[in-house]
Amino acid sequence: MTEHNSTSVSNKDGDSVPEISRTEIQRYQTFIWIQLFFLAVSVFAGGFNFTVWSMLDSSILIVSIGLAGLLFVVDDPKLRKIIFYITIVLYLLAILDMAVNVLVSGSVGWRNF
């Protein structure tokens, strides 16, 4: 069940803007923590081969986390939803790149040891 807050706040133009709910803030915070966890894990996903390809997942995650920071300051719910979906797509791209890095490191990089 989702908690909706029906109160609204007026912005600087005097327009009524719905206030962000507490559950929505918690959802965004949880998503950012998950991204931070995978950012820490992404160091190991590249197999310590610091090339542009192996650092791509980290850079995509950093951009995704930066965009997710906008979720707390944007007033428009539609824009907030669009930003949230963009961050999810960037996050999934970073995870896909991380998986490719692990596969490439496993098949190419670990044979040298």
Q: Measured at the alpha carbon of residue 92, what is the angle toward residues 28 and 59, in degrees to the nearest 5? A: 85
- Please report whether residue 66 resides in a domain: yes
- Please report whether residue 23 resides in a domain: no
- Please report whether residue 39 resides in a domain: yes
Which of 6-15, 45-54, 59-68, 99-108 has the highest average model confidence (pLDDT)? 59-68
Domain with 94, as residue range(s), is 35-107
- Closest Cα partner for 55 from 34, 39, 36? 39
Residue 66 pLDDT > 80: yes
- Please report whether residue 25 resides in a domain: no
- Please report whether residue 27 resides in a domain: no
What integer pLDDT is reported at residue 55 of this predicted model?
A: 78
What integer pLDDT is reported at residue 81 of this predicted model?
A: 92
- Please report whether residue 48 resides in a domain: yes
Calculate mean pLDDT across residues 5-30: 70
What integer pLDDT is reported at residue 63 of this predicted model?
A: 92
Number of structural domains the chain divides into: 1
Q: What are the pLDDT digits (tens) for 82-103?
A: 999 999 999 999 889 888 877 7
The two structure tokens encoding residue 14: 């005097």
